[in-house]
Structure formats: structure tokens, C-alpha cells
Amino acid sequence: MKCIHIHIDGQVQGVGFRPFVYRLAMELGLKGWVCNGVDGVHIEAEGEELQLQQFNKQLKENHPAIARITKLQAEERPLKYFTEFKIIESESSGKPNLLITPDIGLCDECREEIHDSKSHRYDYPFTTCTQCGPRYSIMRGLPYDRPTTSMDEFVMCPTCNQEYNNPLDRRYYSQTNSCPDCAIRVKTIASSGEIVAHDWSNTWPLLIQKLNEGKTIAMKGIGGYLLLADATNVRAIKTLRERKHRPTKPFALLYPNLEALKQDAYVSGVEAKEFLSIQSPIVLVNTREHPTSGICKELIAPGLARIGVMQPYTAMFELLMQKWNKPLIATSANISGSPIIYKDDEALQLLNTIADYFVMHNREIEIAQDDSVVQFSPAYKHRIVLRRSRGFAPTISKDAFSDETILAMGADMKSAFALQANGRIYVSQYLGDLESYESQESYRKTLFHLLDLVKAKPDRIVIDAHPNYYSSQLGKALADSWGIPIAKVQHHKAHAYAILTENNLLHTHEPILNVIWDGTGYGDDGNSWGGEFFEWSNGHLSRIGHLAYSPVWLGDRMAKYPKLAALFIARESTHLQNLIRDKFSPTQWNYYSKVIQTEPEVYTSSIGRLIDAVACLLSVCDYNSFEGQSAMYLEELGRTASTTARYPVSWKNTLLDVVDVLDHVVNDLEHSIPAGQIAFKFHAWQADVVYSIVNTKGYKKVLFSGGVFQNALLTDLIIGRFKRKELYFHRDLSPNDENISFGQLVCATQARTERNEIVEQELMNNPI
């Protein structure tokens, strides 16, 4: 007989791990206990040597599918002579040191159960078990137990209580357990404020009727409210676009199931797997020429061949979609430029001019989250995370770099913060663009919620070098109030540190090329960077090349108007200017002609602005009504054609000539080359740019980060061009600015732990 104590680290709370341990122990005849702790799951087990060995092996190999073990430590303890095996009360003292379980989509068993007329939970819209349901969005504290969530207010009925305490039931220790007898209550309110339905049985027939009438419904989901509308109704979609002031940005669609989706879209195996996954993100898929359901695809995703789709990931969505049985628009409920709304009173107050009806329930959402978005490249099926939120955040599979508690504030576009605390690293959900007061308040709330969850107070803070970022200003204010040091990390260097670390290449000795391409980032020289090449060698990040600088006037207007990007880049080419002159009114032309004769405010090496300029020349986009619109449209155009012709790559020492490629684009236009072929050639040119450096310098490893690498066509062209090289892209994080905070954290930690003078220099010799 032996007694062992096992400590299991990782994503092991809220995933049915303790019931799994209990059943396994009973099966093997072991005695002892299992409990949650602030640092994972703890087990004490007594039995014979072979039994304990088998127990250890099964824990590692057959744990619940949604669990993730990062460490399992076992040590022998004195015999206690236990008489049974049981789950004991969680240990809540100390600082939490565990992965936080994200929200989990509806599992297959619960999906079947709510459609089974013989089931106790038939038609119950809040059906969950240990394998599915909200987690992070309802947490008030750790460890994850019912009293530390917004389920604390709900008292389980005898049936639920029996399930909760029955080791053979799949709801054994299911913290979100409820049923019709102890129900989470639904009510439906009209925009006038009148309650029109008091429960789900009266709500769903009303919803079907109102959706058929073209009305917009605001329904409370896991991470906030979604706006629902009939995806086959032209008037309903136009009304929603007008009310949301969202003229062209694509809407996501909710489909009843995969079979219905396949009637409307071409769905590959990897896309189907992602669609059906427990994370249930929005997945981009190619629309069929004639969708069976009759969706208005030109109104849903104007100018694009792909639509964003997701499965019903809650019981309520599942019940509604099975009764509706065709696609619904399901877009974040917010005011344009503001975060998703998740509070009932705010929904009624702020959305009453957008939604006609509100479906509410009395389980509180503690922290808001948008739906995550994923796509796959068409040729090589490379997975690209476009937005990391519900289902993924805030967990990340990287061990802490030190014992220090560090808060990294991220950027202002596609914002997310990162926290290293108690031996863990967390990267927040996507928090949007920090332009509006509401977005800034949402950022603050999410930040303090996570700090409170893990009981952390930062030892220092890391910010972006941009002096006007809200995230940087907040970081300075917090460092001031807490009396802790602060450091800066340049934007594109943060991208480089993020991609290096995510691919475990930080300690590689051979030189590595980092290609960091995006729209903008404050550079070390005060200019706006965005088309950067860095070499990582012996712990040192060097800027070895970039796009030739172009002048910038009028601040952010250049990013909004692609024609300004074309004009500013082509300022010294009369020929190029004449080609785009008709895109301006006479008054505008006179004004901008004078502007470009003045001294520029700043210069930019941004490839994002070059992409805007090409989009302008090809007349695919004259105004970016949402960030990245011209790039999306140019990619779409490039997908329609292919050619073996190539634009030459022109370098002037370490500077990439951008006017040269524009001249080639114009030359093609004047020779009536189809716009699709030109767009394809421009994307191929970008892949050739990288190849030209690799071919000259002999790099064996190439890494890619920055918002430009959300482009699936470009990703495929790069993979095809470099078949014999080691290429590295982001895995769990998005290539866009959501990874900035993680890179900031890595850079700051490396500087402190390795005492690396170069890295300290990259931190710009702060604290400030």
C-alpha cells in the first residue's frame, strides 16, 4: 500500500475533471480524495503500486477532452488509511495559479437532450453539463465553483441536486446546472419597454413571428447580446445596416447545423471541424453561387465571396434555430465603434433604436466577449485566427517567464492586454479599438476583473511606444498610482517577440528573418512604421530593412481614404497623379495638391498604406468604412485570377521601392490587363519581396506577424513560394495587434531575466 499526492496543473477546472478523477479512482479501487485548489487540482490516493501507476497513466491519457494538463507532479505521502474516495470542498486560500477555462459551446449530449420530448430538460434553453456552458464569462472568483460564479444566486432543485451529487451522472459537480424546476428565467421586452413574454415557451413563437416580419431581435448570449435578423429578408438586413450605421462591414450568420450550411457554402473538412468545435467560433467559408436558403449574400458581405458562419453554441440558440430552420444574421449588439453590450439595462437604453425586441434572462454576465473568428487559407488550409475571444480567451499555453507580475497594455487597435501572474500568462479577449469612451471603459473593466480573479498586483507595466495611445496613457496612470516602474516596447518589435515566442524560437542561435507588416505603429525614429524586416540573432532584434518612406499628411485620414494613400505615395510622379485625379472633386484636388507641396508631418513605411494605394488604382475601394476594408476587397479581387507573370522587386540598399511597383500596376492598367490579375500579381509581389531577402541573406527560418498576414491569399502564396524553408505563423494568437501585449510581455521579461543589454535598449531605457 502507498499514498501519493498528485498536483495537476492546467485547464482542469470547469471541465469535469474532478468527476473524471472520482470515477477513475472508484474503477481502480483507490481510496482518498480530489479537490480544486487555486493552483489546479489536488488528489490524494491510496492503493497498491500497480493500481497507482495505472491511475497516473489514465489521468494523463484519458482525461476529459476539453481539459488541458500542463504539469502533473506526484509525490509519496504517509499512509492515511482512507476508507473511501470522495470529492472534498475546494481550497480557496492563496493566489490563483491556474489556466482559466474559457466558455464552452453546447455539447452533443445536451444538444440531443433538449430535443428529446422524454427528457426532463426538453426545450429548456439553459441546459449545460460538465462538458459545456459558460465559464469565464460568469466567473467572479477562483477556483471555479458555483459560489464564485453568477450561478450562485440559483438554488438547485432536488433533481439537479441529485445529479450534482451523483458520481455516475454527467452533471456531477456541474457548476452551471439548472433545469425547468429551478430555471434561469427568460423574458421578452419590446423596445417600448412592454414585457411581451414571461418565459421561453411564449418567447420562441413570438420570435419566429417577429423575425418573419423583418424585425430585429437583441438576444442575450454567453458573452453579450447578439442582434438577430432574417438573413433572407432584404428589408430586414437593410434596416439593420441603417440602424447600426454599418454600411458595408460583413455580418456573421448563425446556421441551424452543418448540413444546412453546406447547402449555402463550400465547407472543407478543416472548416467543418472548426465550425463544430466546442469553441464554436465564426468561420469564414466560400458561398455557393446560388445558396439554397436564399440568403442575401450581397447585403450580408458586400463585395465578398465568403461569409462568416457559426453553429448555435448555447441551448437557447439551438432551440431557436431548430424552430426557425434557416440562417439568421447574428452580429454583436453594440453602437458603431463601441464594445458589445452585455448588461440588461444598457441593452434597453442603448439598443432601443436598433432592436425591436429584447430576449433577456436573469443569469448575469460578469465579463463581455465577442465571438471569435477563424479562417483557413484556400490552398494550404493554413489556420488564421482573425479574432480571439469567446471560447479561447484568456487561456494561453505558455509558462510564465519569471516569478514577476507584469502587466502589458497592448495597442489601441485590435486591443488586448496580457498579464503574467502567479506563474501563468493570460492574454485577454479581443477588446476592440480604443477610440470611444465606452471601449476604454470596457478595457478597464476587463483588466481589473482579471486582476481581481487571479488576485494580482503588477510589479511593473509595459506599454507601446506611441505617446497618444489610450492603452499607454492608462498604463502610465496605473504605474503612477501603484508606484511601480514602466517600460516601453516598440510596436513592431512586440510583434516580433510574440511570433518568436509562440513558435518557441526565442532561444534559437541561427539568424531568423521576422517579417512584420501592418498598417501603422510608432517607430523608434518617430515615423510611422509598418513594412518592417527584422533579424533575430543571438538575442538581438535588428531592423535590417523596410519599405521606402512615403510622406504622411492629415494624420489618420490617409488610412480612411485609399485615394490619399495613392496620392501621397505618388507625390513625385505626375503620371500617377493624373491617373487618380478623377477620384477627387476639383476643390479636393486643389486642396490636396497644395498640401503635398508642404513639409510632411511624418513619414511612413507602412505596407498597409501601399495596399490602400493599389486598391485605389484598381477602383476596389475609395473609402474604408471599417479597418482593413480595402485590403479585404483587394484580396477578394486577387482570388478571382492567377497568372505566372510577376512584378520585379526593386530594392535601394535596404529600402523597398514602393513607387516602382505602383508604376508596374499602372502600366498593366494602361495595357488593359484584367484587374483580378493585377491584384493577384501584387499579392505575388509581396511574397517575392520576402523571397528576395531570404535568397540574398540565406535565412532558413522566416516568421510572419502583423495584420497583413490575416490575408489568406498572401499566406498561401508565401507557403507556395517557400516550400523548402521553415515558415512560422501565429498559432493561438491573431497576427493582428491582439498579439502586441504578449510580445510586450515577452520583451520586458527577457530584458529582466536575461539582463540582455540589447533587449533593454529595445525597451527604450525605461522606466519613465
Instruction: Give the CATH class of 529-533+547-730.
Output: alpha beta
For the four alpha carbons of 727, 703, 743 and 607, in that order, the dihedral sign comes to negative
Active-site option among 18, 111, 171, 752: 18
655-656/651-652 β-pairing: antiparallel
In this predicted structure, the answer to whether residue 593 has a pLDDT above a threshold of 70 is: yes
Which contiguous run of DSSP H or E holds residue 219?
Answer: strand 217-220
**Which is more confidently placed, 723 or 666?**
666
In this predicted structure, the answer to whether residue 224 has a pLDDT above a threshold of 90 is: yes
Residue pLDDT, tens place only, 706-739:
999 999 999 999 999 997 779 999 999 999 999 9
Residue 477 makes CB contacts below 8 A (sequence gap 6+) with: none
Quickly list DSSP for 185-198.
PEEEEETTS-EEES
* Single pTM value for the model: 0.94
Residue 458, preceding peptide bond in cis (omega within 30° of 0): no
Residue 575: phi and psi, rounded to 5, are -60, -50
Quote the pLDDT of residue 161. Answer: 97
Quote the pLDDT of residue 398. Answer: 85
Name the residue ranges covered by the structural domains of the chain. Answer: 2-87, 99-184, 186-371, 389-492, 529-533+547-730
Residue pLDDT, tens place only, 7-42:
998 899 888 899 999 999 999 999 999 999 888 999
* Mean of pLDDT values over 488-499: 98
Q: Which residues of 533-568 are buried (b: 16+ CB within 10 A; e: fewer)?
A: bbbbeeeebebbbbbbbbbbbeeeebbbbbbbbbbb
Q: How confident is the model at residue 573 (pLDDT cuts 50, 70, 90)?
A: confident
Strand segments (E) across 587-689: 602-604, 651-652, 655-656
Nearest to 98 by CA among 142, 50, 164: 142
Which contiguous run of DSSP H or E holds residue 43?
Answer: strand 40-47
Residue pLDDT, tens place only, 239-255:
999 999 999 999 999 99
Calpha distance 279→485 (Å, rounded): 37
Instruction: Give the CATH class of 186-371.
Output: alpha beta
Active-site option among 36, 514, 624, 711: 36
For the chain, how many residues are written? Answer: 768
Residue pLDDT, tens place only, 77-104:
999 999 999 999 877 777 777 789 999 9
- CATH fold of 2-87 reads Alpha-Beta Plaits (3.30.70)
* Block residue for cell numbers 476539453: 66
Residue 766 makes CB contacts below 8 A (sequence gap 6+) with: 485, 486, 487, 488
Asked if 202 is an active-site residue, the reply is no
Judge contact between 607 and 708, C-beta under 8 A.
yes
Residue pLDDT, tens place only, 432-479:
999 999 999 999 999 999 999 999 999 999 999 999 999 999 999 999
Quote the pLDDT of residue 756. Answer: 44
* Mean of pLDDT values over 496-523: 96
Quote the pLDDT of residue 753. Answer: 53
Q: How confident is the model at residue 335 (pLDDT cuts 50, 70, 90)?
A: confident
Instruction: Please give the mean pLDDT across all residues of the chain.
Output: 94
Judge contact between 98 and 10, C-beta under 8 A.
yes
Quote the pLDDT of residue 752. Answer: 60
**Which is more confidently placed, 706 or 557?**
706
The yes-or-no answer to whether 186-371 and 389-492 have a common fold is no
Residue pLDDT, tens place only, 670-685:
999 999 999 999 999 9
For the four alpha carbons of 105, 106, 109 and 111, in that order, the dihedral sign comes to negative
Judge contact between 385 and 732, C-beta under 8 A.
yes
Asked if 18 is an active-site residue, the reply is yes
Quote the pLDDT of residue 376. Answer: 98
In this predicted structure, the answer to whether residue 177 has a pLDDT above a threshold of 50 is: yes
Instruction: Give the CATH class of 99-184.
Output: alpha beta
Calpha distance 287→271 (Å, rounded): 13
Calpha distance 624→707 (Å, rounded): 15
**CATH 3.30.420.360 correct for 389-492:** yes
In this predicted structure, the answer to whether residue 151 has a pLDDT above a threshold of 90 is: yes
